[in-house]
């Protein structure tokens, strides 16, 4: 397959840049072009070089590097380089000590970091457990989870660099006495909403799980054993919660510390919000990603192959660019500057890996795909090590170097970070993830939106003779995938894999393949189908641990559908006037009824929605299963809903009340919410939008587009309505 060579920014990339990256004046009008932005960044990063000729040369090289989309740095660098703010790091870890002054000093530092565009990770493992005596006051400690709510509230009040709300990672050791409360703290998704959470898993705990025995809970302030509980019970609890809503993740803390090059300085306790950066206290990481899709060439047979010479040059420039970022960075507190100058950690990674495999004709979920991941990352590792060693010969090794390994300029070199918005700018796939879909929607000049098929898929389909005008619609109906469509040859079904085509085992194995050559870690979501079991989650955990991954995040399709809920209304053309409230209309002869099976917190039920002769919803019946724990309440929901409809309440108002009761009670998977979702499903299936155009869907809160859970975070994918992603991300 022939690679593309153009470097022009797509319409969607321009929209993302205008919304989040390009400079604006006091009235909010965009004052930068992409070219000016790239030049601003290149000049600012090259400016730290003291030799004038070298500075001028690197400024031009860096400009070419980023403007060609061969490489892009993390968002704070694009936003802040060459501007007064000057904070260029994506992620930080801050220490949380076991005293009020230490805790609130960290809250203050967190707010300052979020204000400059960074995300923060914390270990709450040093805080004494709930109920422990506080000697200074004689009172009782409230425990780690209570203090997470303090950080959560602070985050909610601060925007990241004026562009988005801050993101946090909260981590607690599995042997902390409050671990069960922590594991359950996000079952109520109205709480600690600005946190992702992960459990720090020890080797001792994993051994206890395998041996089906108890393990010790240890008080952090006294180091005393306070209890011993079944490891399998805790493991099952983690897996069940992750199955339910994707959290907590796992952080294999002992695995990470085996690769710590500065053990006399710190022991790793926490990661950044997406889990791929294991950082010491006050350490940050400066990230950038090479676009692998743009590192191919055509061989003598007319086939795409990797351009290894170009890739080597890009690794060299990427390391030099990010090493310069360490010096160009302006941090909001002095501890950050001191630690980051001492460790000089950088995180060079990749994006566009899925697109590269497609160009090469290699299925993502194949042994050949794993081999290519290992081969590429081993090559990048070798070239990065060479560059950092050469820089150390000129400038000296990083100041915290303790004689472990080679005397490099940087303590860490490689990572695979989330590339949600920068991969949109580069118009390629995210990180090392498979494609989410091979169909998007594109704005055209008359304001309509047309399906946009992945260019290389359409090229192959036309060349191989299986393209048709109906094919995009069939792919959309097939959840964005071509697998299982008889029109598409088996070979190309395999090559053009999407995230939900890939079995969980292959997701884990791909993460492990990259991890082999990476000194930090890999941001990767282990996607699972909706019908996956808790055992499937546990098997993924065991496989990730055995293969040497430093962490794992699983996401079962549909499990967070209640997290971002959008109710919109729009007058439906052709509908008659609504009856006045207080005038009950008889159901009369209903013309049609539709049934949907649901599962709520109390058990399984069937929801029946009946329509009158004008296709208006008129009756709701809820039929609970025999073992339903709240049968009377379930039936009552339907009867009251029916009564409201017959007195003229719009269906969206009725459903809105179901949803509000769910939100106010804060119950995960509640019966009212399940009923509301079922009604929305029925209306969608019937081609209706409710009496006033109600739509119930998981949606981007910024633009209303489709959201997906990728790289450990909910991200906007765009939609037909929005014409592409707006760049929103929950992290």
Task: Lay out the sheet containing 603-611: strands in order across.
Answer: 592-600, 603-611, 617-624
Q: Which of the 8 DSSP states describes residue 503?
A: -
Cα(288)–Cα(205) distance, integer angstroms: 35
Q: Find, among 373, 368, 362, the residue nearest to 303 by Cα.
A: 362
C-alpha gyration radius of the chain: 27
DSSP-based three-state secondary structure for 534: helix
Q: Tell me if 671 sits within 8 A of 600, measured CB to CB.
A: yes
Q: What angle do CA 632, 633, 639 make, to 5 degrees?
A: 90
Q: Tell me if 723 sits within 8 A of 443, measured CB to CB.
A: yes
Would you call 663 exposed, middle or buried from its count of C-beta atoms within 10 A (0-12, 13-18, 19+)?
Answer: middle
Could you tell me the two tokens for 75? 């968002």
- E strand intervals along 524-580: 525-528, 551-556, 565-568
CA atoms in the 13 A half-sphere facing the CB of 181? 16
Q: What's the CA dihedral at 224, 229, 232, 235 to 10 degrees?
A: -60
Q: Tell me if 678 sits within 8 A of 604, measured CB to CB.
A: no
CA distances, 35 to each of 22, 32, 69, 78, 629 (Å): 10, 8, 12, 12, 62
Question: 3-state SS of 117-163?
Answer: CCEEEEECCCCCCCCCECCCCCCECCCHHHHHHHHHHHHHCCEECCC
404: left (phi over 0), alpha (psi -120 to 50) or beta: beta
Cα(184)–Cα(182) distance, integer angstroms: 5
CA distances, 708 to each of 341, 366, 424 (Å): 37, 24, 14
Q: Find, among 421, 461, 466, the residue nearest to 438 by Cα.
A: 461
DSSP-based three-state secondary structure for 211: helix
Question: 3-state SS of 447-477?
Answer: CCEEEEECHHHHHHHHHHCCCCCCHHHHHHH
Question: 3-state SS of 253-266?
Answer: HHHHHCCCCCCCCC
Cα(230)–Cα(217) distance, integer angstroms: 11
End-to-end CA, the chain: 35
Q: Find, among 344, 190, 223, 333, the residue nearest to 664 by Cα.
A: 190
Could you tell me the two tokens for 152? 């959560």
Cα(152)–Cα(463) distance, integer angstroms: 53
Cα(218)–Cα(178) distance, integer angstroms: 10
Phi, psi of 479 (to 5 degrees): 60, 35
Q: Which of the 8 DSSP states describes residue 12?
A: H
Instruction: Quote the longest CA-to-CA distance of the chain.
Output: 87
Cα(217)–Cα(208) distance, integer angstroms: 13
Could you tell me the two tokens for 179? 């671990």
Cα(290)–Cα(275) distance, integer angstroms: 20
| Residues with catalytic function | 272, 274, 276
């Amino acid at each position: 397959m022939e690679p593309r060579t153009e470097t022009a920014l797509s319409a969607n990339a321009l929209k993302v840049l205008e919304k989040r990256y390009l400079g604006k004046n006091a009235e909010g009008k965009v004052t930068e072009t992409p070219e000016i932005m790239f030049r601003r960044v290149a000049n600012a990063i090259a400016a730290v070089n003291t030799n004038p000729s070298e500075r001028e040369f690197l400024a031009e090289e860096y400009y070419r590097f980023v403007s060609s989309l061969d490489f892009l740095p993390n968002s704070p660098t694009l936003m802040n380089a060459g501007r007064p703010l000057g904070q260029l790091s994506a992620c930080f870890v801050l220490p949380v000590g076991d005293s009020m002054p230490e805790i609130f000093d960290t809250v203050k530092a967190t707010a300052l970091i979020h204000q400059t565009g960074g995300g923060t990770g914390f270990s709450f493992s040093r805080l004494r457990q709930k109920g422990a005596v506080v000697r200074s006051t004689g009172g009782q400690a409230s425990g780690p989870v209570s203090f997470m709510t303090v950080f959560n509230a602070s985050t909610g009040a601060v925007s990241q660099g004026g562009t988005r709300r801050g993101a946090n990672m909260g981590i607690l050791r599995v042997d902390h006495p409050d671990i069960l409360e922590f594991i359950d703290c996000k079952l109520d998704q109205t709480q600690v909403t600005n946190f992702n959470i992960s459990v720090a898993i020890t080797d001792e705990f994993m051994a206890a799980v395998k041996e089906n025995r108890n393990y010790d809970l240890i008080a952090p302030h006294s180091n005393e054993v306070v209890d011993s509980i079944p490891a399998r019970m805790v493991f099952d609890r983690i897996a069940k919660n992750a199955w339910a809503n994707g959290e907590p993740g796992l952080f294999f803390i002992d695995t990470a510390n085996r690769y710590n090059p500065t053990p006399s300085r710190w022991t790793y306790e926490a990661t950044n919000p997406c889990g791929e950066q294991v950082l010491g206290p006050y350490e940050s990481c400066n990230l950038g990603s090479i676009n692998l899709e743009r590192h191919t060439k055509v061989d003598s047979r007319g086939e795409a192959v990797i351009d290894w010479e170009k890739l080597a040059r890009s690794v060299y420039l990427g390391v030099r660019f990010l090493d310069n970022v360490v010096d160009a960075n302006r941090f909001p507190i002095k501890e950050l500057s001191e630690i980051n100058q001492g460790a000089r950690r950088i995180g060079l990674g990749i994006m566009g890996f899925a697109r590269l495999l497609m160009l090469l004709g290699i299925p993502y979920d194949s042994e050949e795909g794993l081999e290519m991941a290992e081969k590429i990352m081993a090559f990048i590792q070798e070239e990065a090590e060479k560059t950092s060693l050469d820089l150390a010969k000129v400038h000296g090794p990083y100041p915290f170097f303790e004689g472990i390994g080679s005397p490099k300029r940087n303590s860490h070199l490689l990572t695979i970070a989330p590339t949600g918005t920068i991969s949109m700018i580069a118009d390629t796939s995210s990180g090392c993830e498979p494609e989410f879909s091979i169909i998007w929607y594109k704005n055209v000049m008359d304001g309509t939106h047309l399906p946009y098929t992945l260019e290389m898929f359409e090229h192959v389909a036309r060349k191989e003779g299986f393209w048709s005008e109906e094919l995009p619609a069939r792919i959309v109906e097939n959840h964005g995938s071509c697998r299982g469509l008889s029109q598409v040859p088996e070979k190309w079904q395999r090559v053009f894999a999407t995230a939900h085509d890939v079995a969980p085992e292959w997701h884990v194995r791909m993460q492990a393949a990259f991890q082999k050559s990476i000194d930090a870690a890999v941001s990767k979501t282990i996607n699972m189908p909706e019908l996956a079991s808790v055992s499937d989650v546990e098997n993924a955990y065991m496989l990730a641990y055995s293969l040497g991954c430093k962490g794992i995040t699983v996401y079962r399709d549909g499990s967070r559908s209640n997290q971002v809920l959008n109710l919109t209304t729009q007058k439906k053309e052709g509908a008659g006037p609504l009856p006045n409230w207080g005038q009950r209309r008889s159901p009369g002869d209903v013309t049609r009824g539709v049934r949907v099976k649901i599962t709520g917190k109390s058990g399984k039920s069937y929801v029946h929605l009946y329509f009158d002769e004008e296709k208006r919803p008129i009756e709701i019946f809820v039929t609970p299963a025999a073992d339903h724990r709240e049968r009377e309440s379930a039936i009552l929901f339907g009867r009251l809903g029916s009564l409201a409809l017959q007195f003229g309440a719009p269906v969206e108002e009725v459903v809105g009340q179901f949803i509000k009761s769910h939100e106010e009670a804060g119950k995960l998977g509640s019966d009212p919410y399940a009923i509301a979702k079922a009604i929305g499903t029925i209306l969608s299936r019937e081609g209706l939008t409710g009496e006033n155009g109600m739509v119930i869907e998981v949606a981007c809160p910024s633009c209303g587009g489709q959201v997906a859970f990728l790289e450990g975070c909910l991200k906007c994918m765009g939609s037909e309505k929005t014409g592409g992603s707006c760049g929103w991300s929950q992290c």
